[in-house]
Structure 1
Amino acid sequence: MSLRGTREVRGKCQIFRLTGLLDAFSEPTFLKVLNKYIEDGPAHIILDLSTIDFVDSSGLGALVRLVKKAKGESGSVQVVSNPRVTQTVKLVRLEQFLSLQPNVEVALENLES
């Protein structure tokens, strides 16, 4: 299964709900699409990966590049995680950089504070 998702603009942020695999195969398209959405705005991004099946090192690299792109556009990225994704992110000590959140509601509250 490849990576699939939906996009919702809510206030000053975009919410992407993704399912499938964020890996070497899906990473180029993922970055191309999300970089375009960041450029078009709003630059604050919430990535809901709570139903994602797998993230590999290419996927983690894509998330890091996405955070850097959003910050360059005066935005931010927050990642809503699941236990599998959280374990992978913590293994490489990126939980602070990727701003892991327990759910979309908490991520939205963080944008308002």
Structure 2
Amino acid sequence: MTVSLRGTREVKNNYQLFRLTGLLDAFSEPTFRRVMGRCIEEGPKHIILDLSKIDFVDSSGLGALVQLAKKAQTAEGTLQIVTNPRVTQTVKLVRLEQFLSLQNSVETAIENIKG
């Protein structure tokens, strides 16, 4: 069995940056959801997900992103997603581009964080 999702975590003063590669799908979604949930609880509450190197997101992955956005909002934080054309297309298919706060670059996402 292969690990379909890999990533790194950087914790800064007021945000966490995750750079992910691989597939955000039904196989990786349970672990992704568990790990990200724990990271939001640990803080900081503002999350930047760099999915620009992700190859594929399926409906399970989209569901996990929506849950993550809700969890960040509940914790009075934010979730921003740095995307690529493939991820953007998938998100737009289900009309979630506003809710999921898609960004073109990590730098833009960092600038959007208040406080």
* SS in structure 2 at match of 1:8: strand
**AA paired with 1:91?**
L
Q: TM-score, normalised by structure 2?
A: 0.96
**In the TM superposition, what is the alpha-carbon distance from 1:10 to its structure 2 partner?**
1.8
How far, CA to CA, are the matches of 2:77 and 2:114 in structure 1? Answer: 13
Aligned partner of residue 25 in structure 1, secondary structure: coil
For the residues of structure 1 that align with 2:107 and 2:12, how far apart are their CA atoms?
A: 12
Give 1:54's aligned residue: 56
Residue equivalent to 1:87: 89
- In structure 2, how many angstroms separate the alpha carbons of the residues matched to 1:112 and 1:103? 17
Alignment of 1:34-113 (within 5 A): 34-112=36-114
SS at match of 2:100: coil
- Give the distance between the partners of 1:43 and 1:25, measured in 2 at CA: 26
Where does structure 1 lack aligned partners over 5 or more consecutive residues? none
Q: Helix, strand or coil for the counterpart of 1:65?
A: helix
Q: What's the % identity of the aligned pairs?
A: 72
Letter in 2 for 1:2: S
Query: How much is the aligned-residue C-alpha RMSD, in angstroms?
Result: 1.0
Distance 1:108 1:11 in 2: 11
Per-residue CA deviations over 1:65-110 (Å, capped at 9, x if unaligned) read 0000011111010000000000000010000000000000000000
Counterpart of 2:99, as a letter, is F
Amino acid at match of 1:84: R
Number of residue pairs matched by the alignment: 113
Q: Which runs of 5 or more structure 2 residues have no equivalent in the other structure?
A: none
Structure 1 residue ranges, 4+ long, deviating more than 3 angstroms after superposition: none
Q: Distance in 2 between matches of 1:112 and 1:66?
A: 19
Q: TM-score, normalised by structure 1?
A: 0.97
Q: Which residue of 2 aligns with 1:12?
A: 14
Separation in 1, partners of 2:38, 2:114:
24
